[in-house]
């Protein structure tokens, strides 16, 4: 099978598995991004995410995790739905990607396994390795290199046709493919909407986010106290503000995967109502969903902080 036929096969299969975007990049050491990442880490913009330091070398060098790698297949899975956050000040906001009944890691992993098996079955020498935000990869960098999107000033990857409400994942493969070209257009131009809308000033410069100030970090990853100066703006799990205001998220491209649609019992509920959940109820309600990541202690802390600001 030649390079072109294999590349067509993979793109067609990506569609069949429900991925909205698929692109290919040559596997290489990320020299330029290594400098950016290293600066970001040295300025401690990663806040308490020590694991980013620990896996630094692997993040910028795919050959350290898969020495035979020749190409990186970048994939995007849309999670947006035709629902809106409430503007009511008594409502606790949960970010869109966590509205549904399932954790995206599991949903996407379940697709990648048979997808990789199908690719490997084409030729005996093909080997693959798949990651969905569960390995030391720089997902956004590979998405740019594979031409499936460009970085917005809020630092998320935007595709000009479908916006940015999608997850990214990769398949590393030991075969050369027909590589895509990065999107060259400057998508943001003079727009500053996300920077101006961020409730905490976390986008401290164009294309740069300080995790210490980001509500997403504070409500999901931080295991300690949330600094008093941080206003959660009613977010109790993650934050969508910078993407909600982005003109590329015109809100007419939605996921076909109903598992990401908002669950009645958690969607646009009041701070008071959600504060009543016991630990047992919390664990049951969010079993198998991303919200479990903050643990009950984080859930209670976030709700308390929002309640204090009402
Ligand atoms: C760490 C992390 C976070 C941290 C840090 C955020 C960040 N901006 O990196 C925190 C916890 C805050 C976070 C929050 C969120 N995250 Co997050 N996160 C990650 C993770 C694990 C690593 C990202 C990383 O490497 N950051 C390091 C910094 C240095 O990278 P960077 O900000 O992109 O910096 C680049 C630019 O600054 C650039 N650069 C430097 N100078 C210049 C100059 C110019 C002109 C340009 C163009 C670029 C440029 O170079 C840097 C290196 O490439 C990835 C998964 C993965 N394995 O890649 C998910 C990931 C980025 N997160 C994701 C999501 C969905 C979110 C949230 C939306 C979740 C939510 N709703 O709450 C928020 C969004 C917050 C935001 N505005 O970024 C998705 C993004 C999907 C997409 N469409 O892009 C990813 C890819 C997970 C996934 N697999 O789907 N996240
Ligand atoms: S996710 Fe929220 S806090 Fe973080 S950069 Fe975007 S708007 Fe700011
Ligand atoms: S809101 Fe504007 S500046 Fe921010 S990512 Fe979207 S287009 Fe770029």
Q: Which residue from 158, 193, 230, 241 has its CB within 8 A of the most atoms of ligand 2, so it is best to mutate?
A: 241
Residues 152/248, Cβ–Cβ less than 8 Å = yes
Res 288 pLDDT > 90: yes
Residues 157/138, Cβ–Cβ less than 8 Å = no
pLDDT tens track for 176-216: 999 999 999 999 999 999 999 999 999 999 999 999 999 99
pLDDT of residue 198: 98
The model carries a pTM of: 0.98
C-alpha to C-alpha distance for 173 and 71, rounded to whole angstroms: 5
Residue that is written with structure tokens 């919200």 in the block: 291
What is the position in ligand 3's atom list of the atom closest to the CA of 195?
4
Averaged pLDDT of the chain:
97
Is 133 annotated as catalytic?
Answer: yes
Host H or E run for residue 130: strand 128-131
Residues 211/217, Cβ–Cβ less than 8 Å = yes
Q: Which residue from 95, 130, 191, 209 has its CB within 8 A of the most atoms of ligand 1, so it is best to mutate?
A: 209
Q: Which residues are 74's β-sheet partners? A: 23, 170
pLDDT tens track for 49-60: 999 999 999 999
Share of the chain above pLDDT 70, in %: 100
DSSP string, 228-248: TT---TTEEE---HHHHT-TT
Tokens of 45: 């913009």
Q: Please compute the mean of the pLDDT values over residues 70-76 and round it to a whole number.
A: 98
Confidence of residue 30 (pLDDT cuts 50, 70, 90): very high
C-alpha to C-alpha distance for 76 and 13, rounded to whole angstroms: 13
Res 250 pLDDT > 90: no
Q: Please compute the mean of the pLDDT values over residues 221-238 and round it to a whole number.
A: 97
Q: Which residues are 26's β-sheet partners? A: 71
pLDDT of residue 252: 86
Q: Please compute the mean of the pLDDT values over residues 92-99 and round it to a whole number.
A: 98
C-alpha to C-alpha distance for 192 and 208, rounded to whole angstroms: 13
């Amino acid at each position: 099978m030649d390079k072109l036929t294999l590349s067509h096969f993979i793109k067609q299969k990506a569609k069949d598995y429900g991925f909205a975007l698929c692109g290919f990049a040559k596997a290489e050491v990320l020299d330029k991004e290594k400098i950016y990442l290293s600066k970001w880490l040295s300025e401690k913009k990663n806040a308490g995410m020590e694991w980013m330091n620990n896996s630094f070398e692997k993040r910028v060098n795919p050959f350290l995790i898969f020495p035979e790698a020749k190409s990186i297949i970048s994939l995007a899975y849309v999670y947006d739905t035709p629902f809106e956050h409430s503007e009511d000040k008594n409502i606790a906001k949960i970010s869109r990607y966590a509205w549904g009944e399932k954790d995206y890691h599991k949903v996407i992993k379940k697709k990648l396994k048979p997808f990789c098996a199908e690719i490997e079955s084409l030729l005996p020498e093909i080997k693959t390795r798949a990651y969905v935000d569960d390995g030391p990869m720089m997902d956004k960098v590979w998405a740019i290199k594979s031409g499936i999107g460009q970085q917005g000033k809020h630092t998320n990857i935007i595709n000009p046709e479908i916006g940015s409400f999608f997850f990214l994942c990769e398949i590393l493969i030991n075969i050369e493919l027909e590589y895509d070209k990065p999107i060259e257009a400057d998508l943001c131009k003079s727009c500053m909407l996300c920077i101006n809308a961020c409730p905490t000033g976390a986008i401290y410069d164009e294309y740069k986010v300080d995790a210490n100030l980001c509500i997403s970090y504070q409500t999901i990853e931080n295991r300690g106290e949330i600094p008093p100066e941080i206003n959660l703006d009613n977010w109790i799990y993650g934050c969508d503000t910078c993407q909600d205001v982005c003109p590329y998220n015109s809100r007419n491209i939605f996921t076909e995967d109903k598992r990401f649609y908002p669950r009645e019992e958690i969607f646009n509920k009041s701070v008071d109502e959600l504060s009543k959940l016991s630990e047992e109820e919390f664990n049951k309600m969010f079993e198998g969903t991303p919200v479990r990541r903050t643990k009950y202690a984080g859930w209670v802390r976030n709700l308390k902080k929002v309640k204090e600001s009402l």
